[in-house]
Amino acid sequence: MRTPLIAGNWKMNGSAERIRAFGDAFAGDRLPAALDVAVMPPFPYLQAAQHAFAGTPLALGAQALNPEPAGAHTGEVNAAMLAEFGVAYVLVGHSERRQHYGETDADACRQVEAALAFGLTPVLCVGETLAQREAGATREVVLGQVAAVLDPLEAALRKRLVVAYEPVWAIGTGLTATPEEAQATMGDIRAWLETRDAELAQSLRLLYGGSMKADNTAALLAQPDIDGGLVGGASLQVDEFYAICQSAG
Ligand code: PGA
């Protein structure tokens, strides 16, 4: 069976104090056993988080990466650097990167390859905008984004990804897709995976993201094709994030 995964994407938020608070709150072994949890702070906090999260169930994640191996890329961070600080997961193709920093499916492909080469688990983010949903294009957009990255990858490498379905209209808006709406699209993703590789369709974890909170986690995760969550705003408060993790177990 697929182990649920809850990942907290802090975006451009956080502080050294918040890293310590999360390390303290998650110390000990009080989370459900069959649950993976990751926290994705901004780059400058990765090293502190590596230390603060040691001995807790929290894995470390990053929010982006540059696929180049090294060199003249001012302001960028590559997969080798992330791996050096114990990063296990990295977001690829988040809608904010696509919308505000011009990242494309082609960039996502290169980032996935770079992440995999350094043993990181890429969390590929896909999702439709409100205009695309209203135009009835949700399925086409989402499956197009998934196919653009998975199809060129070797079969053995595809198994190392996580896919997060985040309807863009639900991100940071307080508008959550209903569990049934999320399931409809995520069921389409699973069915598409099935057309490529039945084993992959069974094993690949699909996360829902978009205004996930402690009080809607259980209903979302009760859907057959929702294996966890990518949590933005609600991952910033340690009590709320802890409650989400409890409901996910
Ligand atoms: P949100 O963000 O939970 O604040 O909607 C989710 C995300 O962008 O990953």
| Lowest mean pLDDT, pick from 28-37, 46-55, 137-146, 231-240 | 28-37
Q: Which residues lie closer than 8 Å to 31 by C-beta, 6 or more apart?
A: 37, 57, 245, 246, 249
Query: Average pLDDT, whole number, for the chain?
Result: 97
* Centroid of ligand 1 to alpha carbon of 87 (angstroms): 20
Domain extent listing, the chain? 5-247
> For residue 35, which of 2, 3, 1 has the smallest C-alpha distance?
3
* Centroid of ligand 1 to alpha carbon of 99 (angstroms): 14
What are the tens digits of pLDDT across the range 63-81?
999 999 999 999 999 999 9
pTM for this model (two decimals): 0.97
The pLDDT confidence band at residue 116, using thresholds 50, 70 and 90, is very high
The ligand 1 atom nearest the CA atom of 210: 5
Query: How far does CA 9 lie from the centroid of its chain?
Result: 8
* Centroid of ligand 1 to alpha carbon of 70 (angstroms): 30
CATH pick for 5-247 out of 3.40.640.10, 3.20.20.70, 3.40.1360.10, 3.40.50.360: 3.20.20.70
The answer, yes or no, to whether any atom of ligand 1 lies below 6 A from the CB of 230, is yes
Hey, whose CA ends up nearest to atom 3 of ligand 1? 232
Residue 36: how many other CB atoms lie within 10 Å: 22
